[in-house]
Structure 1
Amino acid sequence: MSQILLPLPSRDFDPSEVSVSWKILTQCGHQVVFATPDGKPGACDPIMLSGIGLDPWSGIPVLRNVRVLGHLLGANADARRAYAEMQRDANFANPIRWDQTGHKDFDGLLLGGGHWARGMREYLESSHLQRVTTDFFAEEKPVAAICHGVLLAARSTRADGLSVLYGRKTTALTWALERKASVLAHVGRFWDRNYYRTYTEAAGQPAGYMSVQQEVTRALASAGDFVDVPAGDPDFRRKTSGTARDTATDNRPAWVVRDRNYVSARWPGDVHTFARMFAAVLDAAAVERSRCAGGDSRSGQPAAQTATARA
């Protein structure tokens, strides 16, 4: 069994990316330890959990329960069930504090996402979490990051000042998906139009400059190291529509990238495949630890590679 660190902000993390990952990892026999800024249980983005607040009539009693955009963009039934289960987990109810975390006590690190700026910025801008992330990469311990979680990884720097993702392949929330969600929010949540944009462009910056994809890409060795779904993929439309999500039995909508012990994904629609791939990386790392403990000096670290999950 591997022990996984899963840091969360106090509020507004994405319920699907965190709870489905938790459920799959625990089902695979791993222990997930949660950490929050103050050691109190975190709370997910309530709009993403219920879907209420994404339609223009959300402020009207009774009508607010009629979800159209909320049904499309919010957590699905599978994720809502996983979140309810996670809330009953003792580790979730009794998290440790961020400042009690370190790479030496854990076998892997999982960085979940979320976009609502009011809660996510403390997580994305935490110098402590960035240092911890840097340490995990330095030790080549398994790390998984999804959506805005990749942004936290990109902001974590090595001793030479470069990002821990410099020289690695990665994906993250794409500008195409972020832009689609933002356009819908301008209509459905017109009173809070930038709900989907954690960071917005300043005067003079081109559209998308502060998107997750573009900030992450600026931290990489090459723009080509940001790996998106190729146009020739047989499931290209399904993977890029922003409406199809993977399930426990169907990974066709998912796009997940692996580079050595690092796994990344774009959005909640990738989370089942993302968590299963991370579980496989953790299992391989555990085998390697066992070999090393037994005196086998052979390295189990493969050369840099990218493997994309598909059917």
Structure 2
Amino acid sequence: MTPRVLVILTSFGYIESAKRVTGWYLPEFAHPYEVLSGKGVEIVTASPKGGVAPLDPASVEQFKSDPTSISFLENKSALWENTEKLSSFLGHAGEFDALFYPGGYGPMYDLATDSESIALIKEFVAADKPVAAVCHGPIVFTNVTLPDGKLLLAGKNVTGFSNAEEEGVGLLEHLPFLLEDKMNEIGANYKITEKIYDPFVVVENDGKLITGQNPASSAGVGEELAKAIGL
């Protein structure tokens, strides 16, 4: 059987207070896609609202010299322009091998607290399927509870976009919270690379919980996810 990974993209595309277009971040989907599709994985995409999942134009500009990102942008637009509604996948974790969330600022505003996304993550975890996210994507795990009432990330080694990296972007005052702070707040063991912006991937739960710190970690997350599903 062809392995299948469900990718959840944000539906949030504009930060009103900053007057800034946002969304999901190009290399954070492009690089894992390249890794996974290269190993024969079928990628299925969904978002809270369905339809077009907004791509952050800043990520297109910043990665215009990255061949993987540009090839993905030019050839795979159907993946984010025709997403299914996230809700339509509830109850279907058995049809997929893993769940993956690219980052970008969008997830901080919708997927972090989206009840259907949280329910979907719970289903994959309960089915012992790998869940992964990169950069701002790991925010989606912070409100997920286990059947015993404990938070999924409590006591777990995880990473995500750091406060130090956030300061370089200049959106601090417009964010609902900081990912690093939120992870520490809920009792996760937040880990960070020695040199910010370097690739850094943390694997927990015997390969079933995979987080990457920043855009440079995207391919590494893809590789770990492939490993987790036996490829």
TM-score bucket (shorter structure): 0.7 to 0.9
CA contact under 8 A between 1:13 and 1:120: conserved in structure 2?
no
Aligned to 1:186: none
- Please tell me whether residue 218 in structure 1 is matched to residue 218 in structure 2: no
Shift in alpha-carbon separation, 1:98–1:196, aligned structure 2, 3 A: farther
1:233-277, CA deviations, whole angstroms, 9 ceiling, x for partnerless residues?
A: xxx44xx2x3xxxxxxxxxx4111111211110110111122112
1:275 aligns with 2:208: no
Instruction: Tell me the residue number matched to 1:256.
Output: 201
Higher-Rg member (1/2): 1
One-letter identity of the residue aligned with 1:24: V
Whether 2:63 is the aligned partner of 1:96: answer no
**Alpha-carbon distance in structure 2 between the residues aligned to 1:29 and 1:159:** 33
CA positional deviation for 1:179: 1.6
TM-score (norm 2): 0.83
Unaligned 5+ segments in structure 1 are 52-73, 183-193, 200-209, 230-235, 243-252, 285-311
Cα distance in structure 1, aligned partners of 2:155 and 2:60: 36
Structure 2: segments with no counterpart, 5+ residues: 14-22
TM-score (norm 1): 0.63
Map 1:54-133 → 2, pairs under 5 A: 76-78=65-67, 79-87=69-77, 89=78, 91-102=79-90, 103-115=93-105, 120-133=108-121
Show the counterpart of 1:289.
Answer: none
**TM-aligned CA distance change 1:83 to 1:135, over 3 Å:** same
Matching residue of 1:158: 146
Q: Which of the pair is proportionally richer in strand?
A: 2
Q: For each residue in 1:25-76, what CA deviation from the matched residue of structure 2 results, as whole angstroms up to 9, or x when unmatched?
A: 111111110002333132201122124xxxxxxxxxxxxxxxxxxxxxx564
Shift of 1:14: 0.9
Equivalence for 2:192: 228
SS at match of 2:229: helix
Q: CA deviation at 1:196?
A: 8.4
| In 2, Cα distance between equivalents of 1:9 and 1:107 | 21
- 1:41 pairs with 45, 52, 59, which one? 52
1:120 Cα deviation after fit? 5.0
CA root-mean-square deviation: 2.2
Q: 1:262 to 1:165 in 2, by over 3 A?
A: same
- Which residue of 1 is the match for residue 10 of structure 2? 9
1:140 aligns with 2:87: no
Q: In structure 2, do the counterparts of structure 1 residues 180 and 26 end up closer, same or farther at CA, with 3 Å as the change threshold?
A: same
Q: Distance in 1 between matches of 2:65 and 2:151?
A: 34
